[in-house]
Amino acid sequence: MSKSPVTDYARWSTDEHLSPKWAERADFVARFVPPGLTVMDIGCGGMQFEHSSKAKTYIPVDVVARDERTRVVDLNAAELPDEWLDEVELVSFLGVLEYLLEPHEVLAKIARRGIAVACTYKSLELAPNANRRASGWVNDFSSSEFRAMVERAGFHVARRVLYKNNQHVYLLLPLVEHDDKTWWKETEEKKAARRAVKREARRHGQLDHKPVLLVAGFYGRGNCGDEALFHCIYEAFCDDYDIYVAVDEHGAFRGFWDWYPYNKCKVIHQTDLHAFSAKRTIAGFMIGGGGLAIGYAGNFVVSARMRRVPNFVAGVDLPELVQQPQVDPEDMTRGMAARAARKLDTAFMSAYLGAFDHLMVRTERSLRVASEIGVEAFLGGDWALRLIADNAPEEVPDPKRAVIVLREFALEIIPFTYVQQIEHLIAGLREQGWNPVLLPFCPEDVRSAKELGLDKLAPTSEHWWNPRRMKQIMAESGLVVSVGRLHAVIFAAPHDVPLCSLAPPLKLPSGKKSISKIDSICADWEIDQFADVDALLQAAADGRLRPASREKVTAAIERLDESIRTMKRIMQERYEEKGL
């Protein structure tokens, strides 16, 4: 390979200079590129664009080999081979053009072959304080100069979008078109054809679209409990409704869109209200379970209510009307005192919750709260009760396996005594003949265990992105111990496996000695709770640990099914009222 003295081969020969932030940029750029193309990714680095672009064929190119597929070329010393360009429909330059001595020449050759380009560029005005030479950048264009340069090269700018306030993303389409490369025109033709088919089907009453159920919750973040809720909501309604799911795209886990069932839904951002004004008919809006605060997704609630779209909040908890700390006065922090003094506006709570056509709570305590504020509520259950366990053959049943689920807490509230108590728990179970295994429920649980050194005490089984697998592991174990994680209890409850909840051995910000929502579920389903490790270990030694009440759990599942039927009936009736 020809080499240029300008290119820093030593820098790019190791992965340490590949920023993890580039994956997020690749995801952003991919939004402007249709899936299914043959993509040549120049300056491929960690190859994040392979996943993001959903390319039919991905061709990585760099100045050094990143894997056995990588084609190696230094564009400061050589041209792109013609035979490479013959293969592709799109060339990407993400964070690359700044390093090229002659970007005009490189782009001009691509333009002459009729190939589109997706690229980024940090122009002078977007990075005014950047030391461009120290960064290895060898050209200096303003935004207007960059546009003039690409136009001279033979492109027109089809899209230009600002990313992170410091660089532009461009989609460049060639002025010279080759019939086998014009995917952007083919896409428009396909769209026009689809519209024509839809118009004809609508005219004959044959359009196969189902009405839409819009669902919002703490989704897409990799919290196994919340992901299980969405699994079950999707499967309860997908036969009759197309599912739209609202997530916080800024806080979501990268790649969640490929997880089931997001890959079968339309994903929208949690502030995007256009769903209500789109051509698709929204049959209902649901806030879908978990420990969500009153007012969560209130923008959707108001928009749905204005349009007479049924509103549901299903599988949630209501807050305690009076906060009672359980710590000694000398241990009371300022935050605990503030929470205790806080008074809820019950009149507003009642008015807001009255905007819902169906309010389904998951605990008897929440049902009592609803009664106290004069709101009609239905006692159902947690959605995750309907989750079906996986049947993966690689997971081997182990009646001596003790699954331990440790919830992450902010490091600043975790004393060393917490670490000692967890060490005591694991060592004590091991002495009794158990095989302790840590089962984190989210990426934060994994990180917390590592930061505290707890991951060294027992093997970790990491499947937090797969709720069904997590449930299988619990169902095929001999004991489940949850330290602060509600859905560890809920996953295990329908199965004949002993389980218990251990109050986290630290001062909770609430001022309580345990977590209220876990207390409520354990009380409803007759699940044992322990205030300290010694009491739990003694119960294990005595053989007193037991499964949840089968009768109570079965009743909760039946109530949940009844709630589903109620919501479907409400949507159908409202649908018919509107003449749809």
131: Cβ contacts below 8 Å, ≥ 6 apart: none
Question: Looking at residue 275, what is its pLDDT?
Answer: 84
Cα–Cα separations (whole angstroms), residue 503 to 427, 450, 464, 515: 18, 21, 22, 7
Rounded CA separation 346/430 (Å): 49
Give, for all 580 residues of the chain, the pLDDT tens digit.
566 677 777 777 777 777 878 888 999 899 889 888 999 999 998 899 998 888 999 999 999 998 899 999 999 999 999 999 999 999 999 999 999 999 999 999 999 999 999 999 999 998 888 889 888 999 999 999 999 999 999 999 999 988 888 899 999 999 988 877 778 875 556 566 656 665 565 555 555 578 899 999 999 999 999 999 999 999 999 999 999 999 998 888 888 888 899 989 989 999 888 888 777 789 999 998 888 888 999 999 999 999 999 999 999 999 887 555 554 555 556 665 555 556 788 999 999 999 999 999 999 999 999 999 999 999 999 999 999 999 999 999 999 999 999 999 999 999 999 999 999 999 999 999 999 999 999 999 999 999 999 999 999 999 999 999 999 999 999 999 999 999 999 999 999 999 999 999 998 887 788 899 999 999 999 999 999 999 999 999 999 999 999 999 999 999 999 999 999 999 999 988 876 5
CB atoms inside a 10 Å sphere around CB 478: 17
Rounded CA separation 269/142 (Å): 32
106: Cβ contacts below 8 Å, ≥ 6 apart: 75, 79, 80, 100
Cα–Cα separations (whole angstroms), residue 562 to 4, 367, 551, 569: 71, 16, 17, 11
Rounded CA separation 370/361 (Å): 9
Question: Looking at residue 326, what is its pLDDT?
Answer: 52
> What is the chain's percent helix, strand, coil content, to nearest 5?
40, 20, 40
CA-nearest of 317, 268, 309 to 289 is 317
Find where tokens 């799911």 sit. Answer: 245
Phi/psi for 325 (5° steps) reads -60, 150
Rounded CA separation 567/141 (Å): 58
Are β-strands 435-438 and 398-406 bridged in parallel, bridged antiparallel, or unpaired? parallel
- Give the burial class of 505: count Cβ atoms within 10 A of its Cβ; 0-12 exposed, 13-18 middle, 19 or more buried: buried
Question: Looking at residue 188, what is its pLDDT?
Answer: 59
Are β-strands 167-174 and 155-163 bridged in parallel, bridged antiparallel, or unpaired? antiparallel
> Which ranges in 6-102 belong to alpha helices (H)?
9-12, 21-30, 48-53, 82-85
- Which domains does the chain possess? 9-176 (3.40.50.150), 212-386 (3.40.50.11720), 398-548 (3.40.50.2000)
Rounded CA separation 413/426 (Å): 21
Question: Looking at residue 467, what is its pLDDT?
Answer: 95
Rounded CA separation 241/260 (Å): 17
CB half-sphere exposure, 314, CA atoms < 13 A: 29
Question: Looking at residue 341, what is its pLDDT?
Answer: 53
Question: Looking at residue 419, what is its pLDDT?
Answer: 96
Strands (E), 82-237: 90-93, 116-121, 155-163, 167-174, 212-216
Strands (E), 225-275: 242-247, 266-269
Rounded CA separation 137/18 (Å): 16
Strands (E), 238-325: 242-247, 266-269, 282-287, 311-316
Q: How far is CA 201 from the centre of its chain?
A: 35
Q: What is the pTM of this model?
A: 0.68
Rounded CA separation 486/355 (Å): 28
Rounded CA separation 404/421 (Å): 13
Rounded CA separation 174/150 (Å): 10
Question: Looking at residue 1, what is its pLDDT?
Answer: 59
CA-nearest of 559, 491, 551, 492 to 526 is 551
Rounded CA separation 459/473 (Å): 14
Cα–Cα separations (whole angstroms), residue 56 to 59, 85, 89, 194, 352: 10, 16, 10, 22, 48
Contact criterion met (CB below 8 Å) for 283 and 213: yes
Helix or strand or coil: residue 476?
coil
Rounded CA separation 261/242 (Å): 12
Contact criterion met (CB below 8 Å) for 487 and 497: no
Q: Per residue, what are the HEC states of 544-566?
A: CCCCCCHHHHHHHHHHHHHHHHH
Find where tokens 């004393």 sit. Answer: 415
Rounded CA separation 542/552 (Å): 25
Phi/psi for 203 (5° steps) reads -65, -35
Phi/psi for 466 (5° steps) reads -125, 85
CA-nearest of 391, 359, 382 to 553 is 382
How many residues comprise the chain? 580
For 353, the enclosing helix (H) or strand (E) is helix 346-353
